[in-house]
Structure 1
């Protein structure tokens, strides 16, 4: 599948007249808990020619290709990505940290270097907290629960706990978050769910797990209390990001 994805990326470069800087897997495969029928969520960052950025009219800053039910590919323009880096966008940090890399240009190391100084705890905490709360409210308070939805609540909860403890971006792999942050009282339950999810379809359901639901409600309350006390941090100056953007444009003149 990797070769197929890389071939599609080359076709996108030619069709869109762009240079891809980074292409990775996001979602359940990159988080480490795919189902047998999980699709591929490929995300990439690209740069265009200088002439494109000098156009007066509004131009698109995304490329989207939904090739079929199995393969979803889309990307962000470098300018968009750097503006989101300024805001410490958690999704962008996840792309940068993905353990499944389909392509990375050597020059992308420049972005990795500056990203290390762009992470802001508060935006990330609110992002993951809202994700956990919304998924919990929408999917776990039912008579039948889709198995994968437990992980879509647990992962952002554990990401919040990681950030509160370390003030750094959380790792992508769920296993790393579990090892560092999951309470022992539900560890065996989650391990069992992981084993089941690995052999269950995306639509697999079961009755709610009272002990796990209780753990989730307790942790959400604790995180909501702690978020307000997270330290305020200054964003990286525009000057640094502007210099970085111009360096890429010089590379692709």
Structure 2
């Protein structure tokens, strides 16, 4: 299988850097083909702006969505964007690896998503009508592929528990797993989260590698998070709200998981 690791940490000798190297070796030893997009090493441009679309009409108002759509359709995207899109199409599985910074991904990774998920590629795909609202949330360009987060956090696991001060980790990661990965069609596996990352000694590192290795070995056998598909009947269209008989009395992120 083909695996793409999109990696976002500025220090190669960090825990993240070591775990990324471990993952590449483990996957390749199992016979998989691996590519790594090391965003900091690539000096990835994180801003989606008019500089990405030099073929736009001079003096015209910059429209991020429509300019992205035109460039994608006309094959005039910058080479770095097109290259990352090719990697995504090539991959059978994608791993996003990053430290949890301010309750989200590092800015460089967010910028990767904003630029690579072009209109017509990551969104704006499929029929929009009274019976369908595009190919997304379980459908789309990435349908049939798997994705998983590998995340390091500085806080204790209890800080991210059901009553932890930071909020439940599943809620914190929901916009990434449901919005960035499930939206364009990925089957999203439960995340691999390392807590108290800065308190990792050799013994703990060995345990982390053992657990991560088992998750990588089971990449194609692990059951995905059962997010509710948008166009399979659970949601009223075009309102895109859950039908009254689906998860009655429930609201919030959890209602969108079967």
Indicate the TM-score class for this superposition, using the shorter chain for normalisation.
Answer: under 0.3
Structure showing greater relative contact order (alpha-carbon pairs closer than 8 Å, 6 or more residues apart): 1
TM-score normalised according to structure 2 size: 0.27
Q: Larger helix proportion, structure 1 or 2? A: 1
TM-score normalised according to structure 1 size: 0.28
